[in-house]
Structure 1
Amino acid sequence: MDQELPLRIILKNPPKGVDFGLQKGSGSHYETVQKQQFDSQDLEFNFTVRVKGNQGTDTQPTLLGPFVQGPPNARFVYLDIGTCAGQIASVWSRRLKIPLLGISWEMVNQLLKNDGQVLETQVPGTGKDNGPTCGTVKPFTGWQTK
């Protein structure tokens, strides 16, 4: 199977005045896309990943593409924050790691059968220090079909 799968990250109530963006690429060869700042609505990042694998032999689908980071058994997506997102004057220089764990063959099949559906996760935008959430999202509530 080699299919495109739509995903959406909702960043809930992040701090105002800070740039957030989806990281495309890895290492020092990346760009930040879909840059935005919180105004009065939660931030939304939409992208696709490529699903590869064989449902008969692979317990989980393998997710690939320019937004996907990490080894096959621990894939994730980064949101770049502040200077990491290209906001030069920001006091923040962070990234938020959003796991792709829990995306199952059942979810993939449901999305492929129902055009217009997306896998969505909602993550907090503000951390305990009242700055942008960073590091790996904890607790991570997972992905749901919407």
Structure 2
Amino acid sequence: MKRAVTIAIAMRIIIDRPVPGVAYSLQAKDGHPLDPARARDGEALAFDFVVRVGPGPRFFGDQVRPEGPVRRFVYVRIGQAAGDPASPWSRRMKVDLHDIDPDLLARAACGGILVTTVCGTGRDGSPACATVPVLRRALVAR
């Protein structure tokens, strides 16, 4: 079977309003935390990575996780799951990729960074987890 041609796209996930003092990280290919960062009061966290996008669109990459035939997402690990054994939380949030607008993907293929912003704090004040809604998506210059 011939492998589909893919295009590398720079991505950034911004965690807006993360819980201060809590560690957040992307999940590495092997399932471990990747470059944890601790949230400071009032500061957003940003995680950069690259995905490969093929026809469909189909998403590939070290941080891309599949669920079913279409859904693709990235895990953000939180607290103990991000490598902080002293944290009272051990959570992951899912940031969906499969629903990115095809026009935005096409523009991102020409350059720039595709930025997805999500809220890092749940309604109860603890770290957001499970599937989080996207607050906004935009293409920014490198």
Question: TM-score, normalised to structure 1's length?
Answer: 0.83
Bigger strand fraction: 2
Asked if the contact 1:98/1:136 (under 8 Å) is kept, the reply is: yes
Asked if the contact 1:102/1:142 (under 8 Å) is kept, the reply is: no
What SS is found at the alignment partner of 1:16?
coil
2:77 alignment counterpart? 80
Matched-pair identity in %: 34
What SS is found at the alignment partner of 1:20?
strand
Residue 124, structure 1, aligned to residue 126, structure 2:
no
Question: TM-score, normalised to structure 2's length?
Answer: 0.86
What stretches of structure 1 move > 4 A for 4+ residues in a row?
A: none
2-structure distance, mates of 1:98, 1:112: 20
Asked if the contact 2:118/2:136 (under 8 Å) is kept, the reply is: no
Q: Which ranges of structure 1 fall in alignment gaps of 5 or more residues?
A: 54-59
2:25 alignment counterpart? 21
CA deviation map 1:1-46 (0-9, x unaligned): 3121111111011111111000012xxx412112101124200011
Count of aligned positions: 134
Give the C-alpha shift of residue 104 in structure 1: 4.1
Equivalence map 1:82-101=2 (5 Å): 82-101=79-98
What SS is found at the alignment partner of 1:97?
strand
| Aligned CA-pair RMSD | 1.6
